[in-house]
Structures are given as C-alpha cells and as structure tokens.
Chain A
Amino acid sequence: MNLEIILHSGLATGTVLLFATIGEIFAERSGILNLGVEGMMLLGAMAGFSTSLAFGNPWLGVIAAILAGGILSLAHGVVTINLQADQVVSGLALTFLGTGLALVLGEGLTGQNPPLIPSFDIPGLAAIPFIGPVFFQDHSVLVYIGLIFTPLAWYYIFRTRPGMHLRAIGEKPEAADTLGVNVYGLRYFYVFVGGCLAGLAGATISLSVSPGWYSTQTTSGQGWIAIGLVIFAQWNPLTAAFGSYAFGALRRGILDLQGPATLLGFTNPLYVNSNYGFFLQMTPYILTIIAVIIGSRAATRQRLGAPAALGEPYIRGERGL
C-alpha cells in the first residue's frame, strides 16, 4: 500500500468525478437539477470511444464526447425550461435515454482498441519530491486539464460578472429577470455546459483513465456519485475537486487492501477469501451516502446550501398571493 501510488491513482480516477461534478454544479447553480449525469457520461464515453476508433484520433473522440453530452442535455433543457416539467423525472428520463442510446449505438465496441489520450510527465515539476510523482508524473492530458480547470471554474463562479449572474438566477431568478438578465437563455447555457462536462467525464474514462468500453460497467454509477458529491461540495468547485480526488484515492486505497497477505499484522481476510471483495466494492456507494449526509448537515448548520431556486421552474409573472 504505497501512499504515492494511491494518491496518484486518486488524481487520475478523481478527474472523472471532477468534470462530472463541476458540470452539475454549473447546472444546479443556475437552478436546474439534472439527474441525467450517468446517461450523459455513458453516452460521452461511447461517443468518444467510437469516434476515436473511427477516425484514429483520440482528440476528435473527446470533442465528440463533449458534444454528445451537451446535445443530450438540451432535451432536458427544453422539457424543464420551456415545458416546465418536473426536473427530477426529466433527469431520470434523460438517464434512460442516454444509457439506452449508448448501449444501442455502442454495440460491438467491447474489446476494441482505439488510440487513447496520451499521458506524460511535466518536466521540472515532476522532480519535486512526493508532490511531483503524485501530481505531475505520468498523468493523462485530461488530468492536467482538470487541475487547471478547477480554480478557473471557482474564479468564474465567484469573482466574475457572468458568475454573479449565474448565482443570481439560481437564487432568485425574479430579481435577475426584472433587471434584464436572460434567465431562460442562461439556464439553457449552463445545462448545456453541464452536459458537455459530463460527456467529457465519460471520455476521460473510456479514452484515458480506464480505457475501454464495458457497456454500463464503464461508468458503473459514477454519474450518480457525482450528483452526491455536488451536495458534499456545497456547490463549490474547489471542494468538489477535493472530494473527487479523495474519492478516487479512497477507492484505490481500499482496492489495494486486497493484495497483501497480511494487514497490520493480522491475516488479511480479503486475501484469504476474495469474495469479501464485494464489500470493498460497496465502499464508493457507502462513501457517497456519508458524503451526502455530511453535506446536508453542513447546509442546515450554515443556513447555506442549495441554490434557493433549484428545482423550481421559473415562470415570469408568477407571484404568490
């Protein structure tokens, strides 16, 4: 159980969750709950994989994945923003749709080997003891993109004008609307952004971190975990990144528990009977539940929490009386 390896792996697999979580943060900050992340991710994974296979270029694959996620999310946008349908059900429908499309269109992709996103070291930084190997050595380009993207996303949301508008339309859309902010248009935009990032997360899996196409096992529920992480992260990209990386590291750490014959001096039960591995596989899901509990309690304590208008369709001219 090597800490360096665990953290390195955590960074890599965590990047997947990072893109998906921050994408959903953008959507939810604008007031739209999009539960279809799993479907968009799977479709993105498939689109990226097959496009790279077809054109021999993993970057085209990434672009295809981003577009796939984005375009799929527009269905959710139309239904929730224009038709004012229930956002929870629409998100679930989106999951079915995305998953179904991915499975149908992805027939026959299992076992193929398209070109993948390259990994490399960052010269100079990789030499720093401990931090170097963890953060800057032998990582996929997408991981480095994730590292840069996180502070940019944070800055955008909290320190720029468009970010202020984003927060306003999620907190009190009427206030923004009466001052001329295009609430509907912006919500569409951020739902689309969320979809694109979910697609990117999918491509990060199939073309980089866990390459391949394994039908629904490709994402195995990470889209749902991302939604849980949004609550844990309290809608903040920095804590989202922390949570995503920590999740990745924990998963790797727990998997590594299966290897050694002895654990802390005692016989490792996982070594003896590999079936106990099923309990290990449960850990990401149990951790997500714990993360959501923590997030909910923090929200109640600080009186902060979800954007106030999250999940409610905005209808101009509706005042309660």
Chain B
Amino acid sequence: MNNDSPPYAVEMENIVVRFPGVLANDHVNLTLKKGEIHALLGENGAGKSTLMNTLAGLYRPTSGTIKVFGEKVDFGSPGDAIEKGIGMVHQHFMLVPTQTVTENILLGLDEPRFFMHLLEYDKKVLALEEQYGLSVDPTAKIWQLSVGEQQRVEILKTLYRGANILILDEPTAVLAPQEIEEFMKNMRLMVDSGKSIIFISHKLHEVSEVADRVTVLRKGVVTAEGVSMEGLSKRDLAELMVGRTVVFAVKKKPQEAGDVVLAVDNVQAINNKGITALNGVSLDVRSGEILGIAGVSGNGQSELAEVITGLRECKGSIRVNGKEVANKPPIEAIKSGVSHVPEDRTRVGSAPTMSITENTIMKCYRLPPVGSGLRINYGTAEEIAEELKDEYDILAPSVNTEARKLSGGNLQKVILAREISSDPQLMIAVQPTRGLDVGAIESIQGLLLEQREAGTAILLISEELEELMALSDRIAVIYEGEIMGVVDAAEADVDEIGLMMTGAHAEDLV
C-alpha cells in the first residue's frame, strides 16, 4: 500500500455479463495503465463491445468489480461513468443529425442551465479543438458532416466532459488508410497529454502498430490478458483470437473471364441527402470474374448497388446481358438474372418475423414450382428450404424458425442460399461478411468463389481490403462517386489502392 497515485486507470475483475441465451463476458479481467494505449482484440461477437459498454455504464455486469483509479465503482447509468472520467466513442455514432456540433457536445450537461447562448459555447468548442488538433465547424449540423468529421465530434464530446479514460470502439472502421494515420497521431497526442485509451479492434495490423499492451477475447473469455506487444507477432495474435492457425489465403483458381455481363456506363445518382453520390461511374463485369469495389464506406458503394438492382434512380445506362435495367423497378433486375446480397441483412435482406421458408422464396415465389397461378405451394417451398438448409449448413431448429432468431452468419447463409439458388447471371454482393465470425466468413467467401467458377459475374463491394485482394480478379477503387482506377488483383499494391481510396487518380500514381 503506497500513497502514490495508482498505476492503473481501470481495473476490471471477473466481469460476467449475461444476456438471455448468451454469456457475453465470462469472468473477464482487464487492466488499463495510466497513459497507455491498450488494445482489446477479438473477432466479431467475442464480447469486446459488451465489455466496454459495461465499463461505460450502459450495462450493469451480472457480477464482478470495476475500479477506476483505485476506487471501486458501480455505474448505474452512462452518466455515472462520465462523472468518473470515462468517455466512450461508439462504433455507431450517437449524434443527433438535425442538431449542430456544439448542441450535440452540450447534450446532457448541466451547463448552460436554461437559456442556450450558443455563440459563447461555439467558441469554447473551437478552443478545445485547437488543443487536440481536431478540427470541425461547431455550427454545422451533423447530417452535413463527413464520417471522419462526425468521429471527431464524438471524441470532442468525451474530451469536453473531462474524460481521462477514452474507449474507442472500432474507430478506424470508417476511415481510409491515410485518415487512419492521422487518427493514430491524434491518439498519441491525447496519450501524451495524460489520457489513457482502450481501443477495440479486430484489425491485427493496426493493433500491432499502435498498442502498448493487448487483451484478447474469444467467445467471451480472455485468452491473453494485458500482454505487452513486444515479441508478439500477428500470427500469435490471430491464434489467440481464433484458437487455431488461421489460414489467410483462400483458394482461388485462376480462370479466364467470359463475356461482359454487366455494363455500367456514365451513371450519375443522388443519395438520400440530396447530394451527388455517383458522378459518372463506368465499369463492366464479365462472367466468371469477381470485380471488387474498394473504398471507404460512404463513397457511393451503396448507391452503386442500388442503381444496378433498381432500388434507386440514376442517369446513364446500366445493361445486364445487353438489356437495359437502369431506372426500372427491382422486379426487372430480378427477371434479368440479377441477384443481390444486400448490405443490411436485417433491414433489407430478410423479413424478421417470417420463417426461413418464407424468406427463402422471396425471389422465386412467382414462378413454378413454388408459385402456381394465384397461389403458393408451401409444401414445395418447405422442401426447397430444407434442401438448402442442408446444403448450406444453416444452423436453426427448423425451416419454420423466424428469421430474426438466427445468428448473423446463419441469416447471411439463408440470403446467399436464396440468391444463389436462382442461378443468377450477375450477383451483387455488398459487405457480405460484415459482422460475421471467422468460420462464417470462410464459408461465405467459399460460396462466392464457387459461383465464380460456375460462371456467374460477381460485383463484390467490401470494406475489407484483404478480402477484396483475396477474392477479386480485378479491383476498382471508388472515391466520392468516381472510379479512381481499376487494377488487376494479382499485381495490386496495397499502398496504391490506399491512395486511390483517398482521392488519387490511378494515372497520377505511376
């Protein structure tokens, strides 16, 4: 017992967090030293966010203790955690879109009490920005800001409240490689001025670049606690994350691409905010080839998928096997042999309270054997669903289970099974492995490659550059609605692609 200030900013001991049906954190220990950058590593679903949400006061642990700067704490609400100097920047931003930066920063505080004198506070916010090198216009409304700027607002929120301990949940998920560098610099700046940071990630290379110590979670259990980064290789980390030697390479056979299936010609489109999302995009995809679209999310990828599948209007021409599909209702694309694995599997790709069977027939119910005349033959539908369930190894009590009860990976398999079974000419797959654990990712990637071999043309949109490099034949980079360049995947250079992702044109890189 010495009288110095405790070396640990945070000590979490034996934390158990249980949700109905799920043990998210199983006796987890984690310590954060003052002034360090501590990485919390693990694959999707390992329990990292849950653990940090507990530290941030959003959940109460089922059991276990938390100490902040040596003092035992019991957070009943996020407010309590904020009082102790803990600030969390969530993966999905908690910002009110219709209010300004300053208003968002002031949300929930006691000062100003009643009358808002925003001009005064705008100045205070600017001062804070200068101190930490995070610049953004305090009077701008959130919906007007870019994703990177919104992230800065989130960080400012915590700093304004005097946070000494910052929890960052997958902060680089939305940033381009060059922005990530800038972000890492900012983290160092904050640590140098006395802050302690925990950052959650599933990206091994970032963790190995910037963290002092690392804690690894796998399926709710700690597999490495507070281990110093020295002497640990990426391979070691991967093994701790997954529990077996991860095979980084997927088997892709070289093959000749066939005729052009999808021809996109000078397409322009506007997004939901009324801003230009696609600014003259042209590309083509051939049968038996995977064209990967690389880019930081928010640069037009979603809109690109939507205009091809008839979910969004556009100018320009989009032809599938010669037939024009632009600006036609989605049914036309479906009839032309386009299948679509959407970005949002719960909001767009499935009907939550309907069964697996009913979800499976979503695209094929109009035609025999499932549809006949005015009615649907549910007996046949169920048989088909059973077959697909076996073929794709979908884990569920039965084909009558509601879709919302399925795990992310299994739901994605249902969607893929449905889209593949229609024997498509063209498949648009948007972020198909997002949020899935490694086992599911491998399955899905394997299925995509199988389709490629079968001659399907595939447009693969993904945030994970590694995935694109492994699966694609060619990679196109999209930035602010324009194609910066198309490269051959086998010869591609990650730095080159990274630069294109932040606005450099291919020609300028030679």
Contacts and interface: CB of A to CB of B under 8 A. Distances in A.
Do A and B come from the same complex? yes
Contacts of A139: none
A179 B108 contact: yes
Interface residues of B, number: 36
Nearest to A168: B96
Given A167-B98, A168-B96, A303-B274, A176 B108 contact: yes
Contact of B103 (A164, A178, A304, A308): A164
Given A168-B107, A321-B435, A178 B99 contact: no
A159 B79 contact: no
A180 interface: yes
B104 interface: yes
Contacts of B98: 167, 171, 304, 308
A178 B28 CA distance: 23
Contact of A317 (B59, B96, B113, B435): B59
Given A160-B114, A160-B116, A161-B114, A178 B346 contact: no
A172 B273 contact: no
B272 to A, nearest CB: 8
Contacts of A304: 98
A111 interface: no
B18 interface: no
B343 to A, nearest CB: 12
B51 to A, nearest CB: 14
Contact of A159 (B59, B90, B115): B115
Contacts of B394: none
Contacts of B21: none
A91 B104 CA distance: 31
A172 B95 contact: yes
Interface residues of A, number: 26
A321 B97 contact: no
Given A160-B116, A161-B114, A172-B97, A179 B408 contact: no
Interface string B449-462: 00000000000000
Interface in B69-121: 77-79, 82, 88, 90, 92, 94-99, 103-104, 106-109, 112-116
A179 B96 CA distance: 12
Interface string A119-162: 00000000000000000000000000000000000000001111
A178 B82 CA distance: 9
A179 B107 contact: yes
B78 A179 contact: yes
B273 A303 contact: yes
A38 interface: no
B157 A316 contact: no
B462 to A, nearest CB: 17
A181 B104 CA distance: 12
A265 interface: no
Nearest to B111: A161
B221 interface: no
Nearest to B56: A178
B347 interface: yes
B283 to A, nearest CB: 30
Contacts of B281: none
Nearest to B83: A180
A8 interface: no
A308 B97 contact: yes
Given A165-B107, A174-B94, A177-B78, A316 B58 contact: yes
B107 A181 contact: yes
A304 B56 CA distance: 32
B162 to A, nearest CB: 14
Interface in B202-256: none
B107 A164 contact: yes
Contacts of B274: 303
Nearest to A177: B78
A241 to B, nearest CB: 22
Contact of B78 (A161, A162, A180, A321): A180
B434 to A, nearest CB: 9
Interface in B104-162: 104, 106-109, 112-116, 157
Contacts of A178: 56, 58, 78, 88, 90, 94
Contacts of A172: 94-97
Interface in A34-87: none
Contacts of B157: 179
Contacts of A1: none
Nearest to A174: B94
Interface in B294-323: none
Interface string A298-319: 0000011000100000001101
Contact of B408 (A165, A174, A175, A321): A321
Contacts of A176: 96, 107-108
A162 B103 CA distance: 12
A164 B94 CA distance: 15
B82 A171 contact: no
Given A165-B107, A179-B78, A320-B347, A160 B99 contact: no
A175 B88 CA distance: 12
A191 to B, nearest CB: 20
A180 B82 contact: yes
A161 B82 contact: no
Contacts of B107: 164-165, 168, 175-176, 179, 181
Contacts of A162: 114
Contacts of B273: 303
A236 to B, nearest CB: 13
A167 B99 contact: yes
A111 to B, nearest CB: 48
A159 B116 contact: yes
Contact of A175 (B95, B113, B116, B435): B95
A205 B160 CA distance: 50
Given A320-B347, A321-B435, A171 B78 contact: no
A316 B53 CA distance: 12
Given A175-B107, A180-B108, A161 B116 contact: yes
Interface string A172-201: 101111111100000000000000000000
Contacts of B90: 178
A181 B79 CA distance: 8
B112 A171 contact: no
A312 to B, nearest CB: 13
Contacts of B77: 180
A162 B109 CA distance: 11
B97 A171 contact: yes
A175 B463 CA distance: 26
Nearest to A156: B114
Among A164, A176, A320, the most chain B Cβ lie within 10 Å of the Cβ of: A164
B350 to A, nearest CB: 12
A316 B78 CA distance: 11
A194 B281 CA distance: 51
Task: List 9 tightest A-B contacts by C-beta distance, closest first.
Answer: A180-B79, A179-B108, A175-B94, A180-B108, A172-B96, A181-B108, A178-B78, A171-B96, A168-B96
10 contacts: A164-B116, A165-B107, A167-B98, A167-B99, A175-B104, A176-B107, A178-B56, A179-B79, A308-B98, A317-B53
Given A161-B116, A176-B108, A179-B79, 20 more contacts: A160-B114, A160-B116, A164-B99, A164-B107, A164-B116, A165-B107, A167-B98, A167-B99, A168-B107, A171-B98, A175-B94, A175-B107, A178-B90, A179-B94, A180-B79, A180-B82, A180-B108, A303-B274, A308-B98, A317-B58
